Chains A and B, each alone.
Chain A
C-alpha cells in the first residue's frame, strides 16, 4: 500500500488544493485523540508531500506557536504548497468532519441528558476523558522531573491556574517571560 521508503531528497510531489483538502479530510475523519502519528504517516510516507526532516522542522515551528499543533500544521503545509487558498483547504478539510460529528453527539447528548442511563454513561465518559488528560499531563511533565527550575515554573502555573483560578493572560504574560529569562541565565 505504501510507496517506497521516504527518500532523503526534499523534492516531493507538490499537492494541489483538492489533494490538500482530501488529505486532511481523511485525517480528520480517522484521527481519534492523537492525530499527529497519522499526520506524519499521511504527509511523509503515504503521500510524500514532505521529507521526514521537513516534517520534523515544520512540527517544531507549530509546537512553538499558539494553537493546536495539527491545526497549525495543516495551515503551514497548505500555505507552503498553495498559498492562502491551500491553507484554507487544508484546515477546512481537517475540521469539517470532526465538527459535524461532535455537533451530532452534542444534539444526542442534549436530548437525552436527563435520562439516568445516559447520565451515567456520560459520567463514566467524562471521568475517562479526565483520566486521559491526567495521563497527557504526566507525559508532558515527566522529562522535567530532574529539572528544579522547570518544576518550580510548572508548579507556579498549576498554583495560579488550578488553585487560585487566575485569568490565563496575566499568568502567561508573567510566567513565560520569567521562565525564558531564568533559562537564559541558566544557559550563560
Chain B
C-alpha cells in the first residue's frame, strides 16, 4: 500500500510540474500512467471518472482526487491532491516574487508566445485521447459531436450540455 502511495505521489507531482496551460494538457499522460503503465483502472473507467469530475463543481482537475480515491481510498485522495496541487503552487509562490521584476522584458513575451501552440497541441491531444476512450457505438459518437458543436457555436452552459448528454445516454440508443 505504501508503495502504491509513493508511486501515486511521484506520478502526480510530476504531472503537477508539467501542467503548462492548465490541467487538460496532462490528461493523456495521466491516462498513460494510471491505465497503461500501472493498470489501476481500465481506459473506460478513466473516461467515466473524468466525466464525473467534469460534472462536479470546482476547478477542472477534480479527476485527480477521484483517481486517488479509486486506487487507494482516502489516503489516495490526500496523496494525489497534495502531489498534484503542491508543487505547482510552490512554483506559483516563487514566481509571484519574480513577476513584477520581469513583467516588461521582451523575452517573457517570446516564451509566452512559444508556449501557446504547445498548449493548443496538448489540449487537442487530450481531446483525441479522451474521445477515443469515451466513445463506443454511434450513439455516443453523436452525443460527443453534438456537445462539441453546441458548446463551440453557442454560449450554452457546459453543465447543461453534460446533463443533455447524460439524458441521451440514459436511453441506451446506439450504445453497445
Contacts and interface: CB of A to CB of B under 8 A. Distances in A.
Interface of A: 28-35, 57, 61-72, 75-76, 79-80, 84, 87, 91, 94-95, 97-99, 101-103, 105-106, 109-110, 113, 116-117, 120-141, 143-144, 147, 149-158, 160-162, 165, 167-169, 172, 175-176, 179-184, 187
A154 B19 contact: no
A67 B19 contact: yes
Interface of B, helix, strand, loop or mixed by DSSP = helix
B8 interface: no
A129 B162 contact: yes
Contact of B129 (A71, A84, A132, A161): A161
Interface of A, helix, strand, loop or mixed by DSSP = helix
A99 B84 CA distance: 13
B48 interface: yes
Interface residues of B, number: 106
A117 B166 CA distance: 11
B6 interface: no
B128 to A, nearest CB: 4
A70 B85 CA distance: 11
A137 B60 contact: no
Nearest to A182: B114
Interface in B37-65: 47-63, 65
B81, B120, B126, B145, most chain A CB atoms within 10 A: B120
Given A121-B169, A128-B165, A161-B28, A32 B18 contact: no
B26, B54, B56, B121, most chain A CB atoms within 10 A: B121
Contacts of A97: 57-58
Contacts of A101: 56-58
B20 A134 contact: no
B113 interface: yes
A64, A110, A187, most chain B CB atoms within 10 A: A64
